[in-house]
């Protein structure tokens, strides 16, 4: 497997995550100090404005930190799960219009990564998340609806292919999605009834083995897709063997 990763994209967003997190905390602490010991006639509404601004910046920081600062990152967890299993495939991180894509001999797969923890249950298109306590309000995003997110990513990927690999316009390229949970924190995953295949990253190797008998893309189609995807990588991407 070859991994193509946009390191500049990751570095820039890591910087944003760290900066906004620190700025948010500093503003919150500063606002509290001013409200406690400052002269109200001098600072006026400043302490009141500091609270929502600091909270907003800290939430932005958390959004980027969960994706680009925490270690291992979601893309590194996906690498770990697929390493030595997805032979003959190319794994793209932060290169295409969607974050994670694998081009395999059997088709194109969008990987929807989720770092959320807790007890997560999928029932068709309905997703529920329990057992978070105060983390529901501080420090973790809601699970949202990974199924609809996966379908949206497939559509975005199809648009990219139609625009950048016109020679494949009349062909039916196998495209699908999987939802991958990348956390090792506590909680239970009940994903059996998900409309889109969903699993923990440690189950990726087993999932891949089940696909080994899938129909293979014609070599010309695989090369056309590779050319279209590699073109998006540009000079900022780093390629490695896994």
Give me the helix-helix angle, 7-37 and 46-64, nearest 10°. Answer: 160
Q: What pairs with residue 113 in β-bridges?
A: 180
The residue extents of the domains of the chain are 7-69, 72-241
CB proximity list for 224: less than 8 A, separation 6 or greater: 165, 167, 168
Give the global pTM. 0.90
Phi, psi of 152, rounded to the nearest 5 degrees: -65, -40
Q: What's the pLDDT score for residue 84?
A: 86
Mean pLDDT of the chain: 90
Q: Is the pLDDT of residue 169 over 80?
A: yes
- For residues 136 and 90, the model is more confident at 90
Q: 96-145, pLDDT tens digit by residue?
A: 999 999 999 999 999 999 998 889 999 999 999 887 665 555 566 789 99
What burial class does residue 134 get, using C-beta atoms within 10 Å of its C-beta: 0-12 exposed, 13-18 middle, 19+ buried? exposed
Q: What's the pLDDT score for residue 201?
A: 96
Q: What's the DSSP call for residue 215?
A: P
pLDDT bucket at 154, cuts 50 / 70 / 90: very high
Q: Is 239 left (phi over 0), alpha (psi -120 to 50) or beta?
A: beta
Q: What's the pLDDT score for residue 42?
A: 64
């Amino acid at each position: 497997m070859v991994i193509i990763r946009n390191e500049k994209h990751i570095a820039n967003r890591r910087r944003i995550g760290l900066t906004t997190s620190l700025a948010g905390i500093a503003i919150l602490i500063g606002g509290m100090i001013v409200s406690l010991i400052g002269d109200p006639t001098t600072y006026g509404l400043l302490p009141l404005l500091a609270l929502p601004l600091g909270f907003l910046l800290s939430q932005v920081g958390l959004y980027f930190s969960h994706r680009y600062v925490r270690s291992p990152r979601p893309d590194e967890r996906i690498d770990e799960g697929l390493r030595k299993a997805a032979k003959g495939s190319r794994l793209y991180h932060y290169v295409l219009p969607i974050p994670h894509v694998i081009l395999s001999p059997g088709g194109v797969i969008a990987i929807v990564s989720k770092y959320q923890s807790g007890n997560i249950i999928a029932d068709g298109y309905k997703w529920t998340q329990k057992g978070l306590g105060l983390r529901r309000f501080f420090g973790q995003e809601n699970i949202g609806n990974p199924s609809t997110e996966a379908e949206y990513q497939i559509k975005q990927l199809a648009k990219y292919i139609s625009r950048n690999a016109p020679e494949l316009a009349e062909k039916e390229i196998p495209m699908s999605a999987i939802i991958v949970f990348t956390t090792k924190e506590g909680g239970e995953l009940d994903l059996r009834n998900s409309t889109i295949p969903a699993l923990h990253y440690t189950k990726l190797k087993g999932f891949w083995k089940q696909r080994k008998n899938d129909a293979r893309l014609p070599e010309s189609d695989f090369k056309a897709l590779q050319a279209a995807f590699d073109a998006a990588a540009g000079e900022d991407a780093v390629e490695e063997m896994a």
